[in-house]
């Protein structure tokens, strides 16, 4: 499993952003419960589907509701020629506790889709 590169644009030191080709996989990153985005750039001719799920996460607890099954992960689609940024803190139930490893799988990619993590 290949780790996604973390880009910290607000750090004083210059950070070189290495985008990871998403055609292979799965990929991973460490979940940070604040100021983190998963970025996916799709230069494919068609859309790609991205699935993310924290290691060992099967249910999410929601106040006032029974636990929700999240074992299939969270899918989002990135249209051809676009870039999507997903704030990971909004999907905490799918990703687990802070510092949990998160698995990223992409379907539809043939070599022109790239991904990275931004922390600010």
pLDDT, one tens digit per residue, over 56-98 is 999 998 888 899 999 999 999 999 999 999 999 999 999 999 9
Alpha helices, H only, the chain: 92-95
Given a contact cutoff of 8 angstroms between Cβ atoms, the answer to whether 105 and 55 are in contact is no
**Does the predicted model carry a pTM greater than 0.75?**
yes
Given a contact cutoff of 8 angstroms between Cβ atoms, the answer to whether 112 and 42 are in contact is yes
- Counting residues of the chain whose pLDDT is more than 70, the rounded percentage is 89
What is the chain's alpha carbon radius of gyration, rounded to the nearest angstrom?
A: 14
Ranges of each domain in the chain = 2-119
Average pLDDT over residues 26-43: 89
Considering the domain 2-119 in this protein, what is its CATH number? 2.60.290
Q: How many CA atoms lie within 13 A of 112 on its CB side?
A: 11
Residue 14 has pLDDT above 60, yes or no: no
Given a contact cutoff of 8 angstroms between Cβ atoms, the answer to whether 23 and 110 are in contact is yes
């Amino acid at each position: 499993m290949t780790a996604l590169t973390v880009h910290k644009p607000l750090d004083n030191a210059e950070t070189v952003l290495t985008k990871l080709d998403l055609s292979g996989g799965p990929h991973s990153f460490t979940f940070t419960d604040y100021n983190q985005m998963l970025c996916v750039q799709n230069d494919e001719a068609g859309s790609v589907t991205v699935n993310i799920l924290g290691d060992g996460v099967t249910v999410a607890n929601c106040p006032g509701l029974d636990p929700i099954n999240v074992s299939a992960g969270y899918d989002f689609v990135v249209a051809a020629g676009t870039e999507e940024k997903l704030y990971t803190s909004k999907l905490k139930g799918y990703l687990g506790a802070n510092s949990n490893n998160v698995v990223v799988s992409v379907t539809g990619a043939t070599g022109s889709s790239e991904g990275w993590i931004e922390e600010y």
